[in-house]
Amino acid sequence: MSLPLQTPPALDVEALRGDFPILSRTIHDRPLVYLDSASSSQKPNAVIDAVSRYYRESHANIHRGVYVLSEEATIAYEQAHVRVADFINADFEEMIFTKNTTEALNLVAYAWGLSNLQAGDEVVLTPLEHHSNLVPWQQVARRTGAVIRYIRLTADGCLDMEHAAETIGPRTKLVSVAQVSNVLGTVNPVDELGRMAHAHGALICVDGAQSIPHMAVDMRAMDCDFFAFSGHKMLGPTGIGGLYGRRRILEQMEPFLFGGDMISEVTLEGASWNDLPWKFEAGTPPIAQGIGLAAAVEYLQGIGMEAVQAHEHTLVRYALEQMREVRDLDIYGPEADDRGGVISFNLDSLHPHDIASILDQHGVAIRGGHHCAMPLMRTLGLNSTCRASFYVYNTTEEINVLVEAIGAARRLLRR
C-alpha cells in the first residue's frame, strides 16, 4: 500500500529542533542523535510548559470541586478530550483517555471481547502485531473458546491481502491490526481490512500507536470501530493514551474498571454508570498528562500532519539508500513507499545490543531487541534486530551520522 503523499511545504527542521530542549544534549561528548521515536518521542517546550503550568497554577481533582482550581482543571481536561477527538475526527463521547495503547487494547479485549466472543468465533490478527495486540486476544480466546487466525505476510513484510480475504469470513467477529508495524514500518491497508470485516458483520480494531504520530488519521474516513494510541509516541507525556470507539458500541459495552468518576449512582445493592466517555475512565484520571497530550496535538496541527508524513518519507527513503551501501547490513521490510519512518536491520552476525551500545558511544540512540514482537521475529527467522526510527526533528545529517556509526561498529566488532 503506497503512502498517499501530498507536496506540503518543507519543514524548517532546524527551527523546529529548537523547540526540543533535549536535542541540545551531548552524549559521550557527541551531539545527541535520537533515533528511537518509535519507542517514545521527545517533547517540545509547548508540551513541557503545558504540564508545568497546570501543576503550578491549576492543579486539583476534576468533576468534584466547586472551587476555582477544580473548575479550571475540569475545563482543561475536558477541552483536552475535545482537541484530541477533533484531531482524529471523532465525537467527544467517543474519545476515552487511557494510560497508553496497551491499556486501550486491553479495554477492548476485556470490555468487548469477553462479552461478545463465544466458542468457535474467530479473531483475525497478523504476525506484525505488537504483543499488546496479541496477548490480550490470546487470553480472551482462552476464556471464551474463540479461535485466533493470522493473515500471512508476503516476502517483503506486507500483508497478503488474498489470504486476508480468505481468512476473514463468516465466523470472524473482530479483525485487530496495527496500521503501521513498529518493526518493519509496513503500512497496512486498514481501510480495506475494515471493509472485509464489515462485509461479514465483524468489527475492526486498529492499533494506531505507530500511525497517529506520523500521518493524518480520520475515524470517519477509516470507518473503524476501535482505534488505540499512545500519547508519548506523538510528542505527548507518558501515562496518557486514547481509545476511540464507535459510540453505539461503547454504549453497549460494560466498563473495564470500576470506581471513582465512572459511576452515576452507587447503592449497597449495585451501581449505574456515568455517561461517555467517563464511563471508561475510573478513578482520578491523568489530568496533567491529558493536558500535555492536547498541547502535543496542537503542536502537530501547527506543523501539519501532511508535512510530518512527507518529511519522514524523505528521511526513510534517504536512510534506505545510504544504509544499503554498508557491507554486511541486512534491512527488513518493504520499500520506502510502503513503510513509515522505521528501519529494522542487522549487521552480519553481530548482536543488536552490541551494535546499539557502540552507536551510543557515537551519540546515536537506536533500539536493539525483539521490539515486543517476538512472533514476528520468529516469522522472519530472527531473534532480534536493530531499529532506527525517525520523527519530525530528525535530519538527513543525522542519518549520515547513523551510517558512519554503523560502519564503525562493523569495523570494531569484526576485528
As a whole number of angstroms, the distance between CA 245 and CA 225 comes to 6
Per-residue pLDDT at 1:
46
Per-residue pLDDT at 8:
62
Q: What is the pLDDT of residues 34-55, one digit of tens each?
A: 999 999 999 999 999 999 999 9
pLDDT at 413 over 80: no
| Grid cell digits, residue 104 | 486501550
Domains, the chain, with CATH or none: 13-31+305-413 (3.90.1150.10), 47-302 (3.40.640.10)
3-class state of residue 110 by DSSP: helix
Tell me whether residue 372 is one of the annotated catalytic residues.
Answer: yes
Percent of the chain with pLDDT over 90: 94
Q: HSE-up of 314 (CA within 13 Å, CB side)?
A: 20
Q: Is the peptide bond before 213 cis (omega within 30 degrees of 0)?
A: no
Per-residue pLDDT at 10:
79
Burial class (CB in 10 A: 0-12, 13-18, 19+), 273: middle
Q: CB–CB of 187/159 below 8 Å?
A: no
Single pTM value for the model: 0.96
pLDDT at 58 over 80: yes
Q: Which of 158, 205, 224, 372 is catalytic?
A: 372
Helix ranges restricted to H, 215-286:
219-222, 247-252
Q: What is the pLDDT of residues 171-223, one digit of tens each?
A: 999 999 999 999 999 999 999 999 999 999 999 999 999 999 999 999 999 99
Q: What is the pLDDT of residues 274-294, one digit of tens each?
A: 999 999 999 999 999 999 999
Per-residue pLDDT at 231:
98
The residues, ordered by sequence, that sit 6+ positions from 386 with a Cβ below 8 Å of its Cβ are 344, 345, 346, 347, 352, 355, 356, 366, 367, 368
pLDDT at 169 over 60: yes
